[in-house]
Structures are given as structure tokens and as C-alpha cells.
Amino acid sequence: MINEKMYSLGSTRSKIRELFEYGKTLAQKIGSENVFDYTLGNPSVPCPEEVTKTIISEVQNPMIHGYTSAQGTIGARKAICDYNFKRYGFELNPDLTYLTCGAAAGLAITLRALISSPNDKVLTFAPFFPEYKVFAENAGGSLIYSKCDESTFDIDFLELEKTICSDVQAVIINSPNNPSGTVYGEETIIKLSKFLNDKQREYGHAIYLITDEPYREILFDGAVCPFIPKYYDNTVVCYSYSKALSIPGERIGYVSVSPNAENAQKLYLAIAGAGRSLGYVCAPALFQAVIEKCVDKVSDSTVYKDNRDVLVENLTKLGFTCVNPKGAFYIFMKSPMESAEEFSDIAKTFGILVVPSDSFGVKGFVRLATCVSPDLIKRSLPAFEKLAKELKMI
């Protein structure tokens, strides 16, 4: 018997992938120069030169590719903790740090470690990365979400109070946010920390805060991304080098349990057990060595800011409303029609591919990934103008 739930997960393409495939077909029909694909979050800038140099130097040792311990090499784990200390003044512990095959693996195993019963719930904030639901359900629990203030996509604490319940074992935040680009400031984090501490007392159990922060290094306009373990003890940092080093296909990241967390050592071992259970033997060895050497390097992301500026300015001129993103490489734009799906379909007829927000848990918006070439953006502006005319916005 084939598992029907897995079959359904494998056969239902995500909206993003579906649009991406549509774009490839469309390009064959009308020419790729007439297709403006804003669907995929694949970094458009190269990895730092140091990454390439490190790889070339490390592979001179043909034994570099052996198994490492399940949690990763001590060299990489120490480098990660040293970097975070230098940058944020907070000491993570290498012995509570676990190298993973990217943030997706980190989230999947952390949730598996934190969910014990089918009643257990994971809370997040909409809009959110759709795979959170998949990982929470794989872990045997379920995902619930709290709506954000739609003008800023900051946390709406009144909504949060209505949504949270004593079954919540873990809360996921994603800042800078995919898809809204919102960065939670210090004030929000302090308020969230107080809120969760109160709830822990009320419910009589720990609520772990999982910070999914692959976009932490991509910030604009002087935005600052607070380091969450400084503000809330029961924090688990889930990081990925996908965006900072432009190496998303290499699957390298880490999970680090705050040394101040309740039962930190037990949770860490449960994360290791979950890694074993899901078939993660170790994170890719060569890229563990790369992280050790390049932990403080970042790809040049100025193009993401320039892209954002050009798009926000021009789309606003045409009458569209965008939440000006403070980080990451997405623009969350209000759909000028009630149905974002319908708007996305009309945009397609002008060669513009944008992702309707429904799968992110929010209605009435579309996501534009701005990790594209500046040239594509320039060429897409007349198409956006035609679209605005079609919708009688101008």
C-alpha cells in the first residue's frame, strides 16, 4: 500500500513550482524575453569568492569527504558559536549546536523533537513558509497561525492572544520574513518574549521559540535583526547558509539550542535522535569545512536592495500597494482585486509570474521574488504598466 498522504504531498505541486513550470512553457511559446518570472527564491548573486577558494583548497585532501560525527565537526560548531558571539555578544554552546542539511532539515528535526502527542500544536504568524505545516504534521502535531497586522506584517498581539492555547509547544518566527520582508524590531521581540513567558507560567510548560532566520544577513535601510536568545531563554536558532552564502542547493545550516533553555541538553539529544530517525547521518562534510572557514562571509546582496527600490517605486507609481520590505528578497504586494489567484492569472497573460498569497496563509496579496536580474525588472515594467491599464488602475 502506498501512503496516500505522501502521494498527495508529492503529486500536489506547490503553487510556486506550478507557476515556475508554467513560466518555462510560456517562454517556449512567446520567447523567454517576454516572461517575467518573479516566483522562485533562488539567490541571484554568486557565492563569495572565499567559498570557491576554500572548496578548492579543502579537496586537495581526498579524505575530506568522510563521515563526520552526527552533530558535525567540532571545528564548524565552534566557528559558528564564535561568530555569533562576536556579532551579537551572546554565547551559544558548540555542544548544543547541530549541523543540518539546511534550515528545512533543522525545522523538521526540531519539531520532531518537540512534538509528543497528536494534540501538540506549533504556532506561527501568517504569512508563513507553507512547509511549516508539512513539517509540523510529519512530526505528529499540527500547525496553527496568528494573523499579522496587514499594514506592516508585524505581530498583532491581540490576534496572538486569541490564537495561542495550552497545546502550543513551539512557536516559529521568521524574520526577515518570507514572503513579507518584515523584520521584527527589538520592541516586538521584547513584547513577544514577555508574552511567551507569561503563557509558560499560565500553562505550566515550556514554549520553545524556533527562529527560522535564513535571511538574517539580508537587511536594508539600517534595519537590525535582534538575536533572539538574548531576549528569550527557550530559544532554538535554526539557521541556513543558503541565502547569506548563496549556496541553497548545498544544504548546510545548523540548529542551536540556547544554553539558557529549559532542559537544553535533553532537547539537544532529542534533536539528534530526530536527525537519526529521519535519516540525516551528517551534514555534507565538504560544506562543514566551508562553514568553518567562511562563517563570517556574506554574498554581496546590494542588488536585492536595488531591485526592491526600482520595483517598489515603479509599482507604487502604477497604483499598486507594496509593504516596503526591510529585509530578505521578496516584495509582498496587495492584489488590486479581491482574489489574488485571479490577479495572478491575469498577470500571467502579460508574462508576469507572481505567487498568490493564499498558500502563505493570507488572502489578497502576491509575492514577487526580487532575486532576479536588474535587467529582467527593467524589461518587466512596461508589462506591469499594461497590467495596470487592463485593471483600469491608470
**Per rule CB under 8 A, is residue 369 in the interface with a copy of itself?**
no
Among 158, 190, 224, 281, binds a copy of itself (CB under 8 A): 281
* Cβ 139 to a copy of itself shortest distance, Å: 8
**Per rule CB under 8 A, is residue 385 in the interface with a copy of itself?**
no
Site for a copy of itself in 9-38 (CB under 8 A): 9-11
Nearest one of 212, 222, 237, 182 to 367, comparing CA atoms: 182
Residue type, 2: I
Cα 60 off chain centre by: 34
* Cβ 274 to a copy of itself shortest distance, Å: 5
- Taking the CA of residue 119 as centre, how many other CA atoms within 13 Å lie in the half-sphere pointing to its CB? 3
What is the residue whose three cell numbers read 498558500?
359
Of the listed pieces 225-233, 249-257, 305-313, 326-334, which binds a copy of itself according to CB under 8 A?
249-257
The sign of the CA dihedral 275, 276, 279, 282 is: positive
**Per rule CB under 8 A, is residue 292 in the interface with a copy of itself?**
no
* Cβ 179 to a copy of itself shortest distance, Å: 17
**Per rule CB under 8 A, is residue 279 in the interface with a copy of itself?**
yes
* Cβ 208 to a copy of itself shortest distance, Å: 9
Site for a copy of itself in 35-74 (CB under 8 A): 40, 42-43, 46-47, 49, 51-52, 55-56, 59-60, 62-68
Among 268, 320, 343, 365, binds a copy of itself (CB under 8 A): 268
Among 26, 155, 196, 272, binds a copy of itself (CB under 8 A): 272
CA distances 173 to 146, 149, 227, 357, Å, are 11, 15, 12, 18
Strands 235-240 and 253-257: antiparallel
Among 91, 95, 131, 159, binds a copy of itself (CB under 8 A): 131
**Per rule CB under 8 A, is residue 195 in the interface with a copy of itself?**
no
What is the residue whose three cell numbers read 513577544?
192
* Omega within 30 of 0 (cis) for the link into 176: yes
C-alpha 68/C-alpha 285 separation (Å) is: 7
C-alpha 142/C-alpha 144 separation (Å) is: 7
**Per rule CB under 8 A, is residue 375 in the interface with a copy of itself?**
no
